Each structure stands twice: as structure tokens, then as C-alpha cells.
Amino acid sequence: MAIENKSTVAYVGTDAVAEAMRQINPDVVAAYPITPQTAIVETFSTMAANGLVDTEMVNVESEHSAMSATIGASASGSRAMTCTSSQGLGLMWETLYIASGLRLPIVMPNVNRALSAPINIHCDHSDSMGARDSGWIQLFSENAQEAYDNTIQAIKIAENSNVYLPVMVLLDGFIISHAIERMELLEDNKVKDFVGEVNTPYSLLDPNNPVTVGSFDGLYGYYFEFKKQQEEAMKNSFSVIKEVGEDFGKLSGRSYEFFETEYMEDAEFGFLVLGSAAGTVRHHVKCLRENGIPAGMIKLRTYRPFPGKELVEATSHLKALAVMDRSDTFAGGMGGPVFMDLRSAYYDYDKKPLMTNYIYGLGGRDLSVELVQQATEEMQDIVRNGEVKQTVNYLGLKE
């Protein structure tokens, strides 16, 4: 299909996100700077200062207030966004649950960064993994292009009446946020039409329908039912994420699914990976294939909701599967969060690959091709011997 009038640019990830936000033109953006997210707030503030958007900027005094003000704005029937990283997301923790519990379609890019202590500004996924059970949809991006594409799609997913859940768009700190990449932008009016008019479930500013938002559930007890409804909405979001991904493909030539597979059909062993590390793993898997080694990979985009069944279907024919986690759960030897989720998804199935977990890249530690090769050799051993010697492995630790 021919896609007309696309423009190709060289952008850093933060500019890609800011550009998506400009095209979305939210009514309110409340935000607070934190490395490596800062450039998004700065660039977007400049756009607002130049009148390129209709947005009211609220330069709050903390991330707790950033999410609180975004909640107030979204509950007022406006399209409201914020963005953050690391400690900022940590400070928002309490209010993340309020945003999802009030069913507010807020969209928030989070530039993944390690959590203190020790203080570390570089990439890992521990910040967003800490928020994985807060009722937010989480979409991971491999590069600036995907961060841009996901941000636009997130609006449409969040504001779907069968969903009404907040969406977090994840991009790896510095690796995506600060590296210049070639990417394609859509035209302004195409994005405008795609996201459409704002759609929130209710508004404080509708004079004919006053609402009480955030009531106290202390006496009659409906909390449980509300939480069940959130889980239903999360289930509904599967088909919405799929449809929006397809529609986006018609618009841009880049369609999106829950995950992407490479060489998986006839693979003997495979890697499951999230975020920017997918590039390195893909490159390596391609080299392995060129040497006749039957490797494959899956890049997981939709981490919440978790497409467990689909992942099982895509990997159950493997002899061995390595799950790559850029964060730990400190559960005492159980491995990283993605590994635990996928192992759990496999429980009901008889046919399953031998599984290992590679925890890598914490605090920005580089994932080199050599390290992926090290993991490859271990995977080949597992295939050969039919047993896993060590389930949870820390890849690239200093001796």
C-alpha cells in the first residue's frame, strides 16, 4: 500500500514523543522534569510557548502533583497527558492506582530508568515494572519510531469506551530517549483524525450532569466489583489494542500486535525480549541463522495486558526459551517479572520449552552481542542436554 506524504526525519526519542504529543494536541499537560525524560517536557513546553498547541501547561512542583493534576484534568473531560521516569514514576505510585480506579484515559510516556539506591540515571525497567499491577496498560517500544507510534495509538486505546484505562508508553532511557534515529512522521491532520475527539467516561465540567468522583466505599462495599470491572476492561483492551494496531498500519504502513516474532516458526530455541535490547538480539539471531543455527526471537510490546496464551502458542514448539528481563523481582531466586509471568502462563500446558531467565542491563549495563552469544551457547547446551542447569542467570555482571 502506498503511504503518501510521509516525512523522514532524524530524531532523538524524546523529540519523537514530544512531536507525537504536539500532533495529539492534548488539552492539559502537567509535568515535572527528571532525567532522562526532561527533554520531553522542555520540548513540549517550547511548543506550547510558541502556540503550536492548545495545551494548558501545568508546571507542577512534583511528579505526585503531575499525576494528580492530570487526574483532575482528565476527570474534567479533557485530554490530559504527563510523562516521567524512574523516581518520578515512583513518586506517582499512589496516584497511578487512582487514575486507573477512576477509569481515566490518561496517556503517559515513561522513559525507563533504574530506581535508587544507589542513584543511577541509566536504563532499566524496574520503574515501570513496579507499576505493572496498577491497572495501567503498558506498551514497550524498541526505538524512537515505536515510541512515537505507541504514543499516538495509546490515546485511541485509552479512550475506547470498552477500555477507559490509562496507558503507559515505555521507552528505554538514553538508549532510545537520547540516541538519534531515522524515523517517519505522520502528517498532522492524519494524526488528528486518527485520535479523534476526546472521549472520557464523565466530566466534572458538565453542568447538566454533576458527578461525584472518587467516593468513599467504606460502608456498602463495592470496591471488589470496581476492581473486577477494571480487570474486565483490561481483558477488553486485548481486542482494542489489536484493532488500533491494524488501523495504525493502514495509516502508516507500520502495523502493531502484542508482540513481534522473528524466525520463530522453525526455531529450536528462542529469546523473549522487551524494549531496545530487541535490536541487539535480532541482529544476533540473524547472524545465527546465517550460520545455520535455528534461533528465533519474540519482541514483547504489550506487557499489560499480558498476552499469555498467545505467547505460549508462539513458543511452545521450542526446545528452549530464554526470557530476558531488564529488572529483578527480588523474590529470592524466582527471576524477573516477565519470566515469572510467562512461566505462570505455561502452567496449564503440557507441551512447554525448557525455560531460563536472563537478567541483564540493570542500571544501564550494556547488552553486548558477546553477552547474547554467551546466552546462546548456554541455550544450545540446554537443547543438547535436555536440562536447565541454572534457571535464573545474571548476564554481564562484573566478576
Partner 1 sequence: MSTRLKDLSKKDEILKGGHRLCAGCGASIAVRQILKGLPDDVELVVSNPTGCLEVSTTIYPYTSWNCSYIHSAFENVASTLSGVESAYRSLKKQGKTDKDYRFVVFAGDGGTYDIGFQALSGALERNHRMVYVCYNNEAYMNTGIQRSGATLKGAWTTTSPHGEESYGKAENRKDLTSIVAAHDIPYVAQASISNWRDAVKKAQKAFEADGPAFINILSPCHRGWRYPMEQTVEVAKKAVETCAWPLYEVENGEYNLTGKVKEKKPVEEYLKMQGRFAHLFKKEENKEVLDSIQQYIDEKWERIKYLAGEE
Provide the binding-site residues for partner 1, judged by CB under 8 A.
Answer: 27-28, 30, 54-56, 58-62, 64-66, 68-78, 80, 94-95, 98, 102, 204-207, 210-220, 222
Angle at 214 between CA 209 and CA 220, to 5 degrees: 100
Task: Considering the complex, state which of residue 95 and residue 315 has its C-beta at the smaller distance from partner 1.
Answer: 95
The number of beta carbons lying within 10 Å of the beta carbon of residue 45 is 17
Task: Considering the complex, state which of residue 216 and residue 330 has its C-beta at the smaller distance from partner 1.
Answer: 216
The number of beta carbons lying within 10 Å of the beta carbon of residue 288 is 21
The three cell numbers of residue 319 are 526446545
Give the SS3 label for residue 262. strand
The answer to whether 285 and 296 are in contact (CB under 8 A) is yes
Closest CA to 276 of 124, 151, 168: 124
Q: In angstroms, what is the minimal distance from the CB of 129 to partner 1?
A: 23
Q: In angstroms, what is the minimal distance from the CB of 57 to partner 1?
A: 8
Task: Considering the complex, state which of residue 38 and residue 59 has its C-beta at the smaller distance from partner 1.
Answer: 59
Task: Considering the complex, state which of residue 55 and residue 276 has its C-beta at the smaller distance from partner 1.
Answer: 55
Q: In angstroms, what is the minimal distance from the CB of 101 to partner 1?
A: 10
> Facing residues of 269 across strands?
295, 320
Task: Considering the complex, state which of residue 80 and residue 312 has its C-beta at the smaller distance from partner 1.
Answer: 80
Distance CA 12, CA 143 (A): 9
In sequence order, what are the residues at sequence separation of 6 or more whose Cβ sits closer than 8 angstroms to the Cβ of residue 398? Answer: none
Distance CA 265, CA 316 (A): 11
Q: In angstroms, what is the minimal distance from the CB of 119 to partner 1?
A: 21
Q: In angstroms, what is the minimal distance from the CB of 223 to partner 1?
A: 9
Task: Considering the complex, state which of residue 118 and residue 210 has its C-beta at the smaller distance from partner 1.
Answer: 210
Q: In angstroms, what is the minimal distance from the CB of 219 to partner 1?
A: 5
Task: Considering the complex, state which of residue 48 and residue 340 has its C-beta at the smaller distance from partner 1.
Answer: 48
Burial readout 198-225 (b: 16 or more C-beta within 10 A, e: otherwise): bbbeebbeeeeeeeeeeeeeeeeeeeee
Q: In angstroms, what is the minimal distance from the CB of 213 to partner 1?
A: 4
* Length in residues, the chain: 399
